[in-house]
Amino acid sequence: MNAIEQGFVEFNISNTGIGTIEFGHPLSNSLPGKILKKLADTINELSNNNEVKVIIIKSNGEKAFCAGASFDELIDIDNMEKGEVFFSGFANVINACRTSEKLILGRVHGKAVGGGVGIAAAVDYCFATKNADIKLSELAVGIGPFVVGPVIERKIGLSAMSQLAINATEWRPASWAHKKGLYSDVYENETEMDDAISKLALKLSSSNTEAMRKLKQIFWEGTEHWDITLRDRAEISGTLVLSDFTKNAINSFKKK
């Protein structure tokens, strides 16, 4: 099985109404199109399940939270239509989080790159460990964080987002992400983080569902146009990924 076909998305629902979604891929939890589609579909499925009161999104393993777009799939894109479809996968995940009537908690246990930062920004409350450094590396491979940019900007502001986008090879520590508002809380280790996630999720599972739904609507006011905006951004990335610069840059990264 090639790298594009690998990976998984699974979920479970506790008897207290906590829906946990976990994704994974052997290459640092990178995100091929197959995983992006399944992740968006699963978020929508749990969002529409009346048994679910609150959602947690996490990734597999103990190292990276998410390495972003799958390089194997990026290098395979040979026309604009395929490129737009692939990058629309990130748009669909973000929009699934945005339109969900359930509050979504994020669990970021390790480094997050590109689309991984986008997922952290798309959840409503994000927990992280001190190892959860972030980077938007897209410009380094000739693209740019066009699709994830709006959701990251919404969370940390244009200035901080532009710093990440421009200085595309520099890691920012979890403490920086916490200060800017991407991470709600940062913990020394996964055990402490998981305890805190469990406590908040349990409190929310017994809270007024209508009040949480109304709060969610207020949190995301002004993003109603994102179905179109993120689709247009996916088209930009889908065009840029075809350049010789990007193909050469991705091949260089894969050799490291």
User: Does some domain include residue 95?
Assistant: yes
User: Does some domain include residue 210?
Assistant: no
User: Does some domain include residue 37?
Assistant: yes
Closest CA relative to residue 254, chosen from 82, 67, 66, 62: 67
Q: What confidence score (pLDDT) does residue 251 get? A: 82
Identify the sign of the CA torsion 109, 112, 115, 119: positive
Task: Tell me the per-residue pLDDT of 41-100, one tens digit each, with 9 for 90 and over.
Answer: 999 999 999 999 999 999 999 999 999 999 889 988 999 999 999 999 999 999 999 999
User: Does some domain include residue 81?
Assistant: yes
Q: What are phi and psi of 165, to 5 degrees?
A: -70, -40
Task: Tell me the per-residue pLDDT of 240-256, one tens digit each, with 9 for 90 and over.
Answer: 999 999 988 888 876 66
Task: Tell me the per-residue pLDDT of 107-157, one tens digit each, with 9 for 90 and over.
Answer: 999 999 999 999 999 999 999 999 999 999 999 999 999 999 999 999 999
Number of structural domains found in the chain: 1
User: Does some domain include residue 98?
Assistant: yes
User: Does some domain include residue 165?
Assistant: yes
Q: Do the beta carbons of residue 133 and residue 175 sit within 8 Å? A: no
Task: Tell me the per-residue pLDDT of 151-193, one tens digit each, with 9 for 90 and over.
Answer: 999 999 999 999 999 999 999 999 999 999 999 999 999 999 9
User: Does some domain include residue 151?
Assistant: yes
Q: What confidence score (pLDDT) does residue 61 get? A: 94
User: Does some domain include residue 104?
Assistant: yes
Assign residue 124 the CATH number of its domain. 3.90.226.10
Q: Do the beta carbons of residue 178 and residue 128 sit within 8 Å? A: yes
Residue 206 has pLDDT above 70, yes or no: yes
Task: Look up the domain containing 24 and give its range.
Answer: 3-190+223-255
